Amino acid sequence: MKAAICERYGPPDVEHVVTIDRPVPDDHEVLVKIRATTVNRTDCGHRRGTPIFLRLFTGLWRPKAKILGCELAGEVEAVGGGVRQFAPGDRVFGATADGMGTHAQYVCMREDGALATMPANMTFDEAASVCIGMIQALTCLRPIGPRAGQRILIYGASGSIGTAAVQLAKHFGAHVTAVCNTKNLEVVGSLGADVVIDYTVHDFTRNGETYDIIFDAVGKHSYRRCRGSLVGDGYFAVADMGFLLQNPLLALLTSITKNRRVKLPQLRGADARTDVLLLKELIEAGRYRAVIDRRYPLEDVVDASTYVETEQKTGNVVLTISHDPV
């Protein structure tokens, strides 16, 4: 099979397409023929080996996982022993348990992992682009427990996590203020945001408004900067690993004072499959949709990664995976 592999840390061109053996599913695994996947910030960070402390888990000198890619949509090609939930030919979408492996034509996944049959009203490209942003947004919002009527501000509302957070916040019944740049005002508004702020024109920390929750989906703001825009019992959350060195201490201190608290993300675990099933339900009910900026073939993964690293993408960047006729 064809796969884009990354054998050392570095810029986008360290990832290159080669031919390797197709994986074989173990018991309780399914082999998925991938039709589409994505390139996102997680992939780029893993490829660069940043933040540097994450190399304790991903490999000190070179990546342990050589095939990047976190999410996918495709068809079940084969199943291992004991599989009951899926059968060959099923159209599926989801995210890999270890966050890697989908920049390839095939991948093996646990049947009880973050995998579900595709929503009937989605293409492969659309289905491949919805899982990771939604799961990562939920890991930040779920510990807070957003409620109907709350005022939530989402900074970086036009990216993969941000577009997911806007739609999830509306699902929770919140009043949503979304912050993005000029070119994305219309698309973010179309996702249901009640107020959209252009950060190139207005600084939300100086507008005199306060919010129950401020969620920085791109890691551009500090708690110190946002604190004055929170109500007394409000919460600040950020979806960026670079802040995890300082935020645990802030979370501890603010949990004691119970005033304008920092909330840490909930580590992804057993809830991942539940999250994918919730996502499928929302999509089929017409309450959640994919946002795709660009599409590239797998062979152009370097170009796709280069574009993602401009930090100007809207929603998601999709890799389409071709399969030669048998």
The encoded tokens of residue 66 equal 């050589």
Per-residue model confidence (pLDDT) at position 222:
87
Determine the Cα–Cα distance for residues 321 and 33; give it in Å rounded to an integer: 9
- Tokens 């996702």 locate to 191
Q: For residue 8, what are its two tokens?
A: 């050392």
| Cβ atoms 214, 237 nearer than 8 A | yes
Q: Residue 53 has what pLDDT?
A: 81
Type of residue found at 169: A
Looking only at the bridges linking them, the beta strands covering 292-297 and 316-320 are parallel
Does an H or E element contain 234, and which?
strand 230-238
Count how many residues are written for the chain: 326
> What pLDDT is attached to residue 278?
95
Q: Which fold has domain 2-130+290-320?
A: Quinone Oxidoreductase; Chain A, domain 1 (3.90.180)
Every domain of the chain and the residues it spans: 2-130+290-320, 133-262
CATH 3.40.50.460 fits 133-262, yes or no: no
Of 263, 163, 286, give the one whose Cα is nearest residue 213: 263
In 248-320, DSSP assigns E strands to: 261-262, 292-297, 316-320
* 23: three-class secondary structure by DSSP: coil
The candidate with the shortest Cα–Cα distance to 220, out of 162, 169, 135, is 162
Task: Please state the pTM of the whole predicted model.
Answer: 0.94
DSSP 148-217: TT-EEEEESTTBHHHHHHHHHHHHTT-EEEEEE-GGGHHHHHHTT-SEEEETTT--GGGSS--EEEEEES
What's the pLDDT at 241?
56
The one-character DSSP state at 10 is S
What local confidence, expressed as pLDDT, does residue 265 receive? 85
Q: Which of 307, 302, 314, 318 is nearest to 36 (CA)?
A: 318
First-to-last C-alpha distance (Å) of the chain: 13
Interatomic CA distance for residues 53 and 48, integer angstroms = 12
Name the token pair of 184: 């994305």
**What are the backbone dihedrals phi and psi of residue 208, each rounded to the nearest 5 degrees, phi first?**
80, 0
Q: What is the pLDDT along the chain (326 residues), one digit of tens a residue?
A: 999 999 999 999 999 999 999 999 999 999 999 999 999 999 999 999 988 888 888 899 999 999 999 999 999 999 999 999 999 999 999 999 777 899 999 999 999 999 999 999 899 999 999 999 999 999 999 999 999 999 999 999 999 999 999 999 999 999 999 999 999 999 999 999 999 999 999 999 999 999 999 999 998 888 999 999 999 999 999 987 555 566 777 777 778 888 899 988 876 655 688 999 999 999 999 999 999 999 999 999 999 999 999 999 999 999 999 997 65
**Is the peptide bond prior to 51 cis by the omega test (within 30 degrees of 0)?**
yes
β partners of residue 78 = 31
Spatial contact of 114 and 97, defined as CB atoms under 8 Å apart: yes
Q: What's the pLDDT at 245?
A: 61
